[in-house]
């Protein structure tokens, strides 16, 4: 989002058009699926702590609900745009489809910077967002969730507002809630763990011992931290992570040749995933420019921050040693970069497959909330592992059978399922 010349929605449409042509979709189906079905744009007036009234721009965009209620997170970000939310809603449709859960794609956002907002102001934005959109979301229509710079507390404020408006208890309205308030055990770990479940299977397929590999990771938020956690449990070594520094207003990379200590770094990281640079230096980390995570001599890259991370301009900075990229973020690789990576023989586990663990576990949470029966953490993680592994092998087998990239195979499976649902409903 920082690159004003980058349009995530155009990229999402370009990816769709390429696969729609391969699938030979008819014009009506293509026209329906390449744009959102519904969009809501609204103002959220908030009385700030200093007494001023400030108006924040909010969005909820529903791409497609042929396979079930829309599902997707709510971002708080100062550079949020409608086109970014459109792209994310489309990617959510494919993400739910590729892991075969009965949900469609949606996404929401508010243009704001939580770094500069008090807890009361953030609560007011959450409640204001729900008031503006409450008639168009709900357990059987559209189920929100956390995303960039939102968390379980934000979700609980939103749930409380929705229940107040509707006069009842509807824990299935929203996911990512705190455990004990309708949240699911394992939800916090789900997206990062899902990335590594697919990475584990990709390593097996490539006859690579994951315990002998090294990795470099972009981002140090929830997805990144839990991906690193499980990757280390499998014996891998992470030598570099990057994160945004709110004080310097730029990203830094933190490098340690013999591998980072995850517990150590977590201890000096704020709730937004920003590592304390001075403390890291004291602990022996080398501080490098933010883009150095991409240039490391490692086996695996995990972009787990924002979109537009690997582009035509920087793709050649990637070391010849890199064998695999697992996309923890949404839309981190542009089509131009993707083509170059494919030519170089680097295996790319595409975003909407690799990071689908979050929405898969959100689905599990929704099921638990609607039935008021909750599973153990081991049950949740076990179901997640099975769901991600099954999805990966379906994609991998189609990729091998048709001699196409994992991304194209994942798109073909996801889009064909959604197109079939639209056709069976008589929409096209």
Each residue's pLDDT tens digit, 370-415: 999 999 999 999 999 999 999 999 999 999 999 999 999 999 999 9
- Ordered by start, the domain boundaries in the chain are 35-185, 188-349
Tell me what the pLDDT averaged over the chain comes to: 95
Please classify residue 278 by burial: count the beta carbons closer than 10 Å to its beta carbon, then call 0-12 exposed, 13-18 middle and 19+ buried.
exposed
Q: What distance in Å separates the CA atoms of residue 308 and residue 5, rounded to the nearest whole number?
A: 11
| pLDDT value, residue 249 | 85
Q: What distance in Å separates the CA atoms of residue 105 and residue 210, rounded to the nearest whole number?
A: 33
Neighbouring CB atoms inside 10 A of 206's CB total: 10
pLDDT surpassing 60 at residue 296: yes
pLDDT surpassing 70 at residue 2: no
CATH architecture group of domain 188-349: 3-Layer(aba) Sandwich (3.40)
Helix 82-98 to helix 406-424 angle (10° resolution) is: 90
Each residue's pLDDT tens digit, 152-207: 999 999 999 999 999 999 999 999 999 999 999 999 999 999 999 999 999 999 99
Each residue's pLDDT tens digit, 5-24: 789 899 899 989 999 999 99
pLDDT bracket for residue 1 (50, 70, 90): very low
Distances (CA, A) of 129 to 46, 107, 122: 10, 13, 11
Active-site residue, selected from the candidate residues 71, 95, 107, 256: 107
What would the DSSP string read from start to end of 100-153? T-S-EEEEEEEE--GGGS-HHHHHHHHHHHHHHHGGG-BTTTEEEEE-TT--HH
Each residue's pLDDT tens digit, 305-356: 988 899 999 999 999 999 999 999 988 999 999 999 999 999 999 999 999 9
Domains 35-185 and 188-349 share a fold: yes
Residue 380 CB partners (closer than 8 Å, separation 6+): 184, 185, 186, 187, 190, 361, 364
Q: What is the mean pLDDT of residues 109-123?
A: 97
Each residue's pLDDT tens digit, 203-228: 999 999 999 999 999 999 999 999 99
The pair of three-digit structure tokens given for residue 415, joined into one six-digit string? 């889009």
Q: What is the mean pLDDT of residues 134-150?
A: 95
pLDDT surpassing 60 at residue 3: no
Is there a contact between 70 and 103 (Cβ–Cβ < 8 Å)? Answer: yes
Q: Is 135 a catalytic residue?
A: no
Helix %, strand %, coil % for the chain, to 5? 50, 20, 30
Q: Does domain 35-185 have CATH number 1.10.260.40?
A: no
């Amino acid at each position: 989002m920082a690159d004003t010349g980058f349009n995530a929605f155009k990229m999402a449409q370009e990816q769709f058009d390429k696969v729609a042509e391969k699938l030979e979709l008819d014009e009506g189906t293509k026209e329906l699926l390449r744009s959102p079905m519904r969009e809501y744009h609204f103002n959220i007036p908030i009385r700030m702590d200093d007494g001023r009234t400030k108006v924040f721009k909010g969005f909820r965009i529903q791409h497609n609900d042929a396979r079930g209620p829309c599902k997707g997170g709510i971002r708080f970000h100062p550079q949020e745009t409608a086109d970014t939310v459109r792209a994310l809603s489309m990617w959510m449709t494919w993400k739910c489809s590729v892991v075969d859960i009965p949900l469609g794609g949606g996404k929401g956002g508010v243009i704001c910077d939580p770094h500069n907002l008090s807890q009361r102001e953030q609560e007011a934005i959450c409640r204001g967002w729900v008031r503006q959109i409450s008639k168009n979301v709900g357990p059987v229509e559209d189920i929100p969730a956390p995303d960039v710079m939102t968390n379980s507390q934000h979700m609980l404020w939103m749930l409380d507002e929705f229940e107040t408006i509707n006069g009842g208890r509807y824990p299935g309205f929203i996911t990512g809630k705190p455990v004990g308030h309708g949240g699911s055990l394992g939800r916090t770990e789900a997206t990062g763990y899902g990335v590594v479940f697919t990475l584990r299977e990709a390593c097996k397929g490539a006859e690579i011992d994951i315990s002998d590999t090294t990795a470099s990771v972009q981002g140090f938020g929830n997805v990144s931290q839990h991906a690193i956690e499980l990757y280390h449990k499998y014996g891998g070594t992470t030598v570099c992570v990057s994160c945004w520094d709110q004080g310097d207003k730029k990203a830094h990379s933190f490098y340690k040749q013999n591998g980072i200590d995850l517990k150590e770094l977590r201890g000096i990281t704020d709730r937004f995933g920003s590592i304390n640079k001075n403390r890291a230096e004291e602990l022996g980390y080398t501080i490098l420019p933010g883009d150095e995570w991409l240039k490391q001599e490692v086996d695996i890259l995990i972009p787990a921050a924002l979109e537009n991370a690997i582009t035509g301009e920087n793709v050649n900075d990637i070391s010849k040693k890199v064998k695999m990229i697992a996309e923890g973020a949404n839309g981190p690789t542009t089509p131009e970069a993707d083509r170059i990576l494919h030519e170089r023989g680097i295996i790319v586990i595409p975003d909407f497959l690799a990071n689908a663990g979050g929405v898969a576990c959100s689905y599990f949470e929704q099921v638990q909330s609607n039935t008021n029966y909750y599973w153990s953490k081991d049950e949740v993680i076990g179901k997640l592992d099975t769901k991600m592994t099954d999805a990966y092998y379906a994609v991998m087998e189609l990729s091998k059978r048709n001699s196409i990239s994992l991304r194209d195979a994942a798109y073909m499976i996801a889009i064909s399922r959604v197109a079939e649902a639209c056709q069976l409903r008589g929409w096209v």
